[in-house]
Structure 1
Amino acid sequence: MTFRAHILGAAAGGGLPQWNCGCQNCNLARAGDIPAQSQSSVAFSATGTDWAIINASPDIRDQMARARALHPTDLRKSPVRSVLLTNGDIDHVAGLLTLREQQAFTLFATAEIHQIIADNPIFNALNPAFVTRTSVVLDEPFDLVAGVSARLIAVPGKVPLYLEGATVQTDLVGEQTVGVQLEAAGKRVFYVPGCAALRPALKARVEGADMVLFDGTLWQDDEMVRAGLSQKTGQRMGHMSMSGADGSIAAFGGVQIAQKVFVHMNNTNPVLRPGSAEKAIAEQAGWTIAQDGMELEI
């Protein structure tokens, strides 16, 4: 039994290139000078035949077409047995609409995330005769897919953009933003694509892990402001930056983890450029920068 992760999409919401963005990275990707990346999603398997997808990206149709392991094995029979949502962001739930084609799978999420789905009638396209919606209690183990046990962990974050009110708490801890602890074949893996801060409890929890796939949205907190693309910082969006004294590279310093992988990179992040100084710094600190189609054996 081999525990495997397949990066379906390495980018944050909007992908690379983002349709309306003329930043350096997006222009390079359009020209084919750097690899394009689709929106955040990862598939896991311990058997090679039964797969779970974490977060259903708007790009999921093309992502699955490029991932041979996820190709249908018979007429209307997919190796995807389950889908797990870590929050209600559009870039993590919109792909559910692509998965409406009378395919049986279990949809796992916290009760609060399930409520977001239930409140939007467009998701009624997921026929309950085929899609079983299962609510998961925080920190309670459950079987995600054959051979893989999972737990959901509350991490600091915020509600989806479309649910923001006049006041936004960006480090809310509860059921709206979760990380995932996965165990299979004697290995322990964490998938945390969105996190506003690495608190001591989470740092202690990931100590000794075989792999951590972690939020790599921005290189620096005011990256989008400096680029003239937004007035929002990473913290305002509920994400840690990679660099700086309060960044994730520093926060993970000294934590013993066999493999560290950044996922969910925004289109502005310079680590997406092969040969950039920022990518070299991250790699020297022991991090792998995820790319679409990357296969990781745990």
Structure 2
Amino acid sequence: MHVKILGAAAGGGLPQWNCGCQNCADARSGEIAGMSQSSVAVSADGRDWVVLNASPDIREQLRLSGLHPPSRRGSPVRAVVLTNGDIDHIAGLLTLRESTPFQIHATAATLAILEQPVFRVLNPALVGKQAIRPDDPFEPLAGLRLTAFAVPGKVPLFLEEGEVKTDLLGEQTIGLRIDCGGRVMFYIPGCAAVTPDLRDRVGGADLLLFDGTVWSDDEMTRTGTGVKTGGRMGHISMAGPDGSLAAFDGLNLARRVYIHINNTNPVLRPGSQERARVGAAGWEIARDGQEILL
């Protein structure tokens, strides 16, 4: 299985256009590497690819990753699979509108969001939409078997109304299991909590790409960049007794990598104590352009 990290950051990327936090300032000056918004490409043969979430940065991501047209017109991207309807996961579809065929796979709840008029720029004669049913495997490409499953999360920000539940289990937020050639990876870029079922499900995998949005639940308020907690945004923190470091501690995983990392997260600084703790626990921090062969 070929895996390319097209983008490793959470929504807004690093640096975020309107943020002057230390990480963003360091990224602008070149002290730390910048990152585009979370997206991953997978392939069984290195020729035809499935993109997991279409980030707003997808045009540049495809250019830098080498996923170039194989002929005068076309693309090696054969399908896009969406894990939810967040802007940083669906906006890139609007870039893929220039009359090249591919398939979109998403839950019925996410496909309903794509019924908004702006997405009509995707020619339905070329761009098909296929509904994903949780725990029902599908093959977007020969050799790649994907299985979606519900993880705790919430509706996209633009659909929030009244009191928001951030731990919904349904079609709003899914994780993906990808099987290829006897290898297994999981892609879970958004998750509000690690349940016992989720921990059991991912155990034994060759690769886990997991939600690394914030280090601590109060990170936004502590850095003066926002008022919402990580939990309110639908993302589990890395640290703390209920964080993902503790939740996955001791679990048999060949490789564990944090992805979808917010611009405020201190693990982005190579010399930070937080980065050292993550490394000591056996975790890596995803980076744009990273390639993994399983």
Flag structure 2 segments of 5+ consecutive residues without an equivalent: none
- Using the TM superposition, give the Cα deviation of residue 260 of structure 1 relative to its aligned residue in structure 2, in angstroms: 0.2
Asked if structure 2 preserves the Cα contact closer than 8 Å seen for 1:50 and 1:146, the reply is no
Structure 1 letter corresponding to 2:179: E
The residue aligned with 2:127 is: 131
1:95 and 2:97 matched: no
Aligned counterparts of 2:173 and 2:132: Cα–Cα separation in 1: 13
Q: Is the 1:47–1:146 contact (alpha carbons within 8 Å) kept by the matching residues of 2? A: no
- Compute the displacement of 1:146 (Å): 2.4
Question: Which of structure 1's runs of 4+ aligned residues deviate more than 2 A?
Answer: none
- CA–CA separation in structure 2 for the residues paired with 1:232 and 1:192: 21
Deviations 1:129-172 (A, max 9, x none): 11011111111010022210001110000000000001100000
TM-score, normalised to structure 1, is: 0.98
CA distance in 2, matches of 1:130, 1:207: 38
For the aligned residues, what is the CA RMSD?
Answer: 0.6
Give the Cα separation in 2 of the matches to 1:89 and 1:263.
16
Q: Do residues 114 (structure 1) and 111 (structure 2) align?
A: yes
Matches of 2:232 and 2:152 in 1, distance apart? 12
For the Cα contact (< 8 Å) 1:220–1:243, is it kept in 2? yes
Alignment pair present for 1:105 and 2:108: no
Aligned mates of 2:223, 2:231 — CA distance in 1: 16
Which amino acid letter does the alignment assign opposite residue 139 of structure 2?
D
1:72 partner letter: P
Residue among 232, 248, 256 paired with 2:252: 256
* Matched residue, 1:54: 52
1:230 equivalent to 2:216? Answer no
Question: Number of aligned pairs?
Answer: 294
1:4 aligns with 2:8: no
**What residue number does 1:82 align with?**
79
Q: Measure the CA separation in 1 of the matches of 2:199 and 2:57.
A: 31
Residue 138 of structure 2 corresponds to residue 173 of structure 1? no
1:232-273, Cα deviation, whole Å (9 max, x unpaired) = 000000000001111101100011000000000000001111
SS across alignment from 1:241: coil
SS in 1 for 2:114: helix
Where does structure 1 lack aligned partners over 5 or more consecutive residues?
A: none
Equivalent residue, structure 2, for 1:215: 211
Give the drift of 1:297: 1.4
2:88 maps to a residue whose letter is: D
Superposition pairs of residues 10-25 of structure 1, within 5 angstroms: 10-25=8-23
Contact 1:8 1:64 in 2 (8 A): yes
| CA displacement, residues 47-106 of structure 1 (integer Å, 9 cap, x when unaligned) | 0001000000000000001011x1110011211110000000000000000001101101
Q: Distance in 2 between matches of 1:259 and 1:197?
A: 20
Q: What is the distance in 2 between the residues matched to 1:13 and 1:207?
A: 28
